[in-house]
């Protein structure tokens, strides 16, 4: 087998492979003779079909199968011979060999870049530090009271915090659009569960009233058919209800699932949960600082287009699934241009390459105890945690994704240990609010290292 490699541009390589004819022809001949002993054709006894007839009828099909297999085998052998690490699947151009003779083809692909991580010795971090106060606990208790509120019908115009029961139907230029109507829809004014403009338009309405509410969809709204357009929602108010908050006592604790210990036990649980949230938020902000500084220090790293394109497709699919879950629509009316996700995709690919290099260079191994703890923590959010744990442990792909996420966090912890870190005091509200507003982005960037696992 003869192999030659040409650098066409940047990370792109064009590899020409020539395979002697006998490697293909010999396998074709062997398979045809085995086939001749089994094939059944009218006019011939089993196993007695003339070889010439078998070759004439099945030769082309068998040769195509052999060519595909030999091409895959020799492509891998050529990569190993030339010590090339491809970043994605190749584009293959078959030059000769379809009808006989030597097999010759060109494979064009990108290789993984050589990565030397810059900036690890210059990390300067601010560690946010927040104390959980009695006021913080009181705010959570007040939120719990609102969640447990009972709503009573009132004969007055709606105001802030009221719940308004409505039927609505929206049109754009007189035409329907996906998700344009609802019946008996409860809208709590000020809850931000509906668009703020829609909720605020209900202030002052009374039961039995009809009102047209204008709402303009954002220019980057995922559904192209409504993007940037103004809808008119014909809304009928069926009832106005005001909240009645429960007393701050042991009954409230029982209502939210505290079987023993009453209000004091609820306060202790809230404090514990807030401290856990504060710890996670601190770690998230440190991680953000580390990844941002590493990204800046390694901004010139050349990224394989194949990996960036793959990330863009993954982000497009994640966004589509999120929209479908939020709207309940299963239609495919989503036009999500790739350029909307390119910057984020490049950030994820770059970080994945850097993480992989740090893992290999510093021989960082997966902490199995941390992986088990992460799985148990995640499973605890489901009604049947043991079923979730079993499902993950029996699915290697899911477990690998979880393990990569844990391993990435180990790398971040290692980098934080190397960094120059100073503490910065914050209120709990200041610490948690940025985290809450970035939760969706954090979920998308989780497990960035597995972006590159195919290139390890």
**Structural domain includes residue 142:** no
The residue-averaged pLDDT of 141-168 equals 94
Interval 288-308 mean pLDDT: 95
- The answer to whether residues 127 and 162 belong to one domain is no
**Of 223, 244, 265, which residue constitutes the final position of a domain?**
244
Determine the distance from the C-alpha atom of residue 315 to the mean position of all C-alpha atoms in its chain, rounded to a whole number: 6
436/308 same-domain check: yes
Whole-number Å distance between alpha carbons of 12 and 419: 36
pLDDT of the residue at 272: 95
pLDDT at 219 exceeding the cut of 90: no
Tens-place pLDDT, residues 40-65: 787 787 777 788 888 888 888 899 99
Q: Do residue 290 and residue 418 come from a single domain?
A: yes
Query: Would you tell me how many other CB atoms lie within 10 Å of the CB of residue 357?
Result: 19
**What domain range is 163 assigned to?**
149-244
Q: Which residues contact 133 (CB under 8 A, 6 or more apart)?
A: 428
Mean pLDDT rounded to a whole number for the chain: 89
| Domain count along the chain | 3
Strand 2-9 relative to strand 12-19, pairing = antiparallel
> pLDDT above 70 covers what percent of the chain?
93
Torsion of CA 50, 52, 55, 56, to 10 degrees: -110
Same domain, 322 and 413: yes
- Judged against a pLDDT cut of 90, whether residue 307 lies above it is answered with yes
- Could you tell me the pLDDT band of residue 451, with boundaries at 50, 70 and 90? very low
In a domain, 140, yes or no: no
Q: What is the pLDDT of residue 443?
A: 41
d(CA 343, CA 441): 13
Report the pLDDT averaged over residues 353-357: 95
pLDDT of 440 reads 41
- 334 band by pLDDT with thresholds 50, 70 and 90: low
pLDDT at 274: 95
Which residues lie below 8 Å from residue 95, measured CB to CB, with a gap of 6+? 104, 105, 106
Q: Residue 331's pLDDT is what?
A: 56
Return the pLDDT at 447: 41
pTM higher than 0.85 for the full model?
A: no
Residue finishing a domain among 215, 244, 273: 244
Identify the band that residue 98 occupies on the pLDDT scale cut at 50, 70 and 90: confident
Q: Is the pLDDT of residue 333 over 60?
A: no
Please check the confidence at residue 255 and state whether its pLDDT lies above 80: yes
> Does the structure show a pLDDT above 50 at 444?
no
Give yes or no: residues 383 and 312 share one domain. Answer: yes
Lowest mean pLDDT among 8-12, 281-285, 331-335: 331-335
* CATH code of the domain containing 160: 3.10.50.40
Task: Name 243's bridge partners.
Answer: 151
Q: Residue 402's pLDDT is what?
A: 94
In degrees and rounded to multiples of 5, residue 118 shows phi and psi of -100, 150
What Rg value do the Cα atoms of the chain yield, rounded? Answer: 31
Residues 357 and 270 in one domain: yes
- Cα–Cα distances (Å) from 396 to 329, 366, 391, 403, in that order, read 31, 15, 10, 10
SS (H, E, C) the chain: CEEEEEEEECCEEEEEEEECHHHHHHHHHHHHHHHHCCCCCCCCCCCCCCHHHHHHHHHHHHHHHHHHHHHHHHHHHHHHHHCCCECCCCEEEEEECCCCCCEEEEEEEEECCCCCCCCHHHCEEEEEEECCCHHHHHHHHHHHHHHCCEEEECCCCCCCCCEEEEEEEEEECCECCCCCEEEEEEEECCCCCCCHHHHHHCCCCCCCCEEEEEEECCCCCCCHHHCCCEEEEEEEEEEEEEEECCCCCHHHHHHCCCCCCHHHHHHHHHHHHHHHHHHHHHHHHHHHHHHHHHHHHCCCCCCCHHHHHHHHHHHHHHHHHHHHHHHCCCCCCCCCCCHHHHHHHHHHHHHHHHHHHHHHHCCCCCCHHHHHHHHHHHHCCCCCHHHHHHHHHCCHHHHHHHHHHHHHHHHHHHHHHHCEEEEEEECHHHHHHHHHHCHHHHHHHCCHHHHHHHHC
Which segment of 312-321, 329-338, 379-388 scores lowest on mean pLDDT?
329-338
Report the C-alpha gap between 326 and 342 in whole angstroms.
24
pLDDT of residue 222: 74
Angle at 271 between CA 269 and CA 274, to 5 degrees: 110
| pLDDT tens, residue by residue, 380-399 | 989 999 999 999 999 999 99
Q: Does 105 lie in the same domain as 125?
A: no
Instruction: Kindly state whether residues 215 and 294 are assigned to the same domain.
Output: no
Confidence of residue 353 (pLDDT cuts 50, 70, 90): very high
* pLDDT tens digits for range 155-206: 999 999 999 999 999 999 999 988 889 999 999 999 888 889 999 999 999 9
In a domain, 249, yes or no: no
Structure tokens at 129: 């530090």
Q: 264 and 239: one domain? A: no
Rounded Cα distance, 38 and 32, in Å: 10
């Amino acid at each position: 087998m003869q192999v030659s490699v040409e650098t066409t541009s940047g990370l792109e390589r064009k590899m020409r492979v020539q395979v002697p004819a006998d490697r293909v022809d010999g396998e074709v001949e062997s398979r045809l003779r085995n086939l001749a002993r089994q094939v059944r054709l009218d006019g011939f006894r089993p196993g007695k079909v003339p070889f010439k007839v078998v070759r004439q009828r099945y030769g082309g099909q068998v040769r195509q199968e052999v060519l595909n297999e030999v091409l895959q085998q020799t492509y891998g052998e050529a990569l190993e011979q030339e010590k090339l690490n491809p970043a994605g699947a190749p584009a293959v151009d078959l030059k000769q060999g379809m009808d006989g003779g030597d097999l010759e083809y060109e494979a064009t692909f990108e290789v993984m870049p050589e990565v030397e991580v810059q900036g690890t010795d210059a990390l300067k971090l601010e560690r946010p530090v927040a104390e959980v106060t009695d006021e913080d606990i009181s705010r959570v208790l007040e939120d719990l009271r609102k969640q447990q509120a009972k709503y009573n019908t009132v004969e007055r115009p709606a105001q802030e915090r009221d719940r308004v029961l409505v039927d609505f139907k929206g049109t754009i230029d007189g035409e329907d659009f996906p998700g344009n109507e609802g019946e008996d829809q409860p809208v709590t004014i000020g809850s931000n569960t509906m668009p703020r403009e829609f909720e605020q338009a209900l202030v002052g309405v009374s039961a039995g009233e009809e009102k047209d509410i204008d709402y303009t969809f954002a220019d980057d709204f995922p559904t192209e058919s409504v993007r940037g357009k103004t809808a008119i929602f014909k809304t009928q108010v069926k009832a106005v209800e005001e909240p009645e908050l429960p007393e701050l006592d042991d009954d409230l604790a029982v209502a939210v699932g505290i079987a023993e210990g009453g209000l004091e036990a609820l306060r202790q649980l809230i404090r514990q949960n807030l401290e856990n949230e504060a710890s996670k938020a601190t770690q998230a902000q440190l991680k953000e600082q580390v990844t941002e500084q590493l990204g800046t220090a390694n901004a010139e790293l050349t990224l394989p287009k194949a990996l960036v394109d793959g990330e863009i497709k993954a982000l497009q699919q994640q966004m589509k699934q999120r929209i479908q879950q939020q709207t309940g629509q299963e239609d495919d009316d989503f036009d999500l241009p790739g350029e909307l996700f390119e910057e984020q995709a490049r950030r994820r690919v770059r970080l994945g390459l850097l993480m992989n290099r740090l893992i290999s260079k510093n021989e960082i191994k997966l902490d199995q105890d941390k992986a088990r703890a992460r799985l148990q923590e995640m499973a605890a959010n489901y009604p049947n945690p043991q079923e979730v744990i079993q499902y993950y442990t029996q699915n290697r792909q899911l477990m690998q994704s979880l393990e990569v996420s844990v391993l990435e966090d180990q790398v971040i912890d290692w980098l934080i240990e190397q960094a120059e870190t100073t503490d910065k005091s914050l209120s709990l509200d200041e610490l948690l609010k940025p985290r809450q507003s970035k939760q969706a982005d954090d979920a998308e960037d989780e497990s960035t290292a597995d972006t590159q696992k195919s290139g390890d």
